Amino acid sequence: MQQQEPGAVPADTPFALVASQGSRLSISAANAAAERAGIRPGMGLADARAIAPALLSRPAEPARDRTALLRLARWCARYGPAFNTDGADGLWVDTTGVAHLYGGEKQLLADLCRRLARFGLTVRPGLADGMGAASALARFTPTLALSARIAPTGQVRDALGSLPVEALRLEAATVRLLMRLGLKRIDQLADLPRIALQRRFPSRQAAEAVLIRLDQALGRKEEPQKPLVSPPEHAVRAAFTDPLISSEGLESALAALTQDLCAGLEQAGRGARRLTLTLYRSDGTRALLRAGLSRPSRSPAHLFSLLRGKLESIDAGFGIDLMLLDAYDSQPLAPDQKPLAVLAQTQTGTNPETVAALIDRLSGRLGAGAVLRLEPRASHLPERAEALVAALDQSRAPPASPSSMRGARPPLLLARPEPIEVVAEVPEGPPRRLRWRRGLARILRAEGPERIAPEWWRETGQQASRSRDYYVVEDDSGARLWVFREGLHGEAEGAPENPDVAPRKPPGWFVHGLFA
């Protein structure tokens, strides 16, 4: 509301959002003025107006709130690689290994609060070694002092001891039972012997639920958390005191990031397959640039070239104050051997790294679906033995191919076999003359046949493919063709047992490929 209509509700005027629960209208959120008047979430709207007749209200929009919270959680990736929402009004970020970049944990929380306040948001942070302790500090610490909202390592119990048992994220019925037992604070619950606590509950399951939440909050038991997106395998970041606006500054920062990322990849013995560059603007918005690689790489120059061209499409706005470069799908990569690579390029004329770099650049500019490669497929028929796939798609290993049992294959395979007219000395022999594309040629030499049987497990009945006898022939003009005879003589002779099924056609000849 404050962001959509700034100044629409004065700060000293009670204001609340109202949600409909069947026929009942209740308060879903309230501002500070309404809370000071005694209005709390969950209270009925009629009761709230009785307490504060001047209460202003608007209908709640849960769907838009969830979308805004997800967007805010993604923005908080600047403080840690793993993050997600927590309920309808909270989020969590794993800041492990990040706090030192801000000068410490207190400085990190101060930076977070300052930026969110600039967006018009009120934040109640909490920082601890575990999710349970951080949630308790964030939601139930009475003071706004940051020092009281941080639980130093090894001092979680002292930091949480004075907080109410509601901070353990227990069910309402369990909290009421603990209150009747006189256990109002976490330290009272933690000091009670576990056996004595179990005896105070009506069932073993209820006692175990309390103990699990207590152990999670005190760091005795791990609490698995599912991040919103998978954290990157390798990541580097750069924060700027003065936001970057010029393209030269962004390119210089990107070059430094790629150097740092590749140094980490080299130390781990791996190469990146996917890159994500996140640029955070001063106004709270962000921009994403992604690049894919056809083979793992940790070359700073190559990674920089893939992302540099995309920077032209970025509007820096009021300036970029943080850049994150993340690497995903990393794969083992052997250490570089420069002399051997140069020798291989000299002998073969083709360097695999150079080809991969060209594929990556073309895919980045034209789109991943515009650059294709041929992938082997498990099939005996030549036209089915390969398929076009995206050049960057290396997720599937090529299937086993019986290439060692095949004869010669032409470098140019026609899209469809083209029919020809053939004259042969014997019915099952190679052609001696052929007519193709209105030209008559005399065959000087022929090699073959190589028989390729149909794939009976794919096609059955009259529509099934027929056996093929392939020949490599050379005509009097020097052209070498790959031709085949489809079907065998004798297959079409005789009437079929079923008169409703037509007999097969006589064998036919086709050109399927050309040799250089």
What tens digit of pLDDT does each residue of 255-275 get? Answer: 999 999 999 999 999 999 999
Give the H/E segment covering residue 25: strand 24-30
Q: If you average pLDDT over residues 453-463, what whole number do you get? A: 69
Residues 480-492: what's their mean pLDDT? Answer: 84
pLDDT digits (tens, 9 = 90+) for 285-313: 899 999 999 889 999 999 999 999 888 88
pLDDT confidence tier of residue 347, bands split at 50, 70 and 90: very low
Q: Write down the pTM of the prediction.
A: 0.65
The pLDDT of residue 374 is 79
In the 8-state DSSP scheme, what is residue 168?
A: G
Task: Give pLDDT, residue 499.
Answer: 54
| In the chain, % of residues over pLDDT 90 | 51
Tokens of 110: 């101060």
Please report which residue ranges of 349-505 form alpha helices under DSSP H. 352-366
Q: 309, 313, 305, 292: which is closest to 371 by C-alpha? A: 292
Yes or no: say if 31 and 48 are a contact pair by the CB < 8 Å rule: no
Q: Where are the beta strands (DSSP E) in 304-411?
A: 320-328, 331-332, 372-376, 386-390
Please determine, for residue 342, whether its predicted confidence score (pLDDT) is greater than 50. no
Measured between alpha carbons, how far is 60 from 26 in angstroms, rounded to an integer?
10
The pLDDT of residue 404: 44
**Does residue 433 have a pLDDT over 60?**
yes
Structure confidence at residue 495 as a pLDDT band (50, 70, 90)? very low
Q: What whole-number distance in Å separates Cα of residue 18 and Cα of residue 39?
A: 12
Q: Burial of 54 by CB count in 10 Å (0-12 exposed, 13-18 middle, 19+ buried)?
A: exposed
Contact partners, residue 111, CB within 8 Å, separation at least 6: 102
Which of the residue ranges 109-113, 261-265, 494-498 would you say has the lowest mean pLDDT? 494-498
Mind listing the pLDDT tens digit for each residue in 398-421? 555 444 446 778 888 898 999 999
C-alpha span between 285 and 264 (Å, rounded): 28
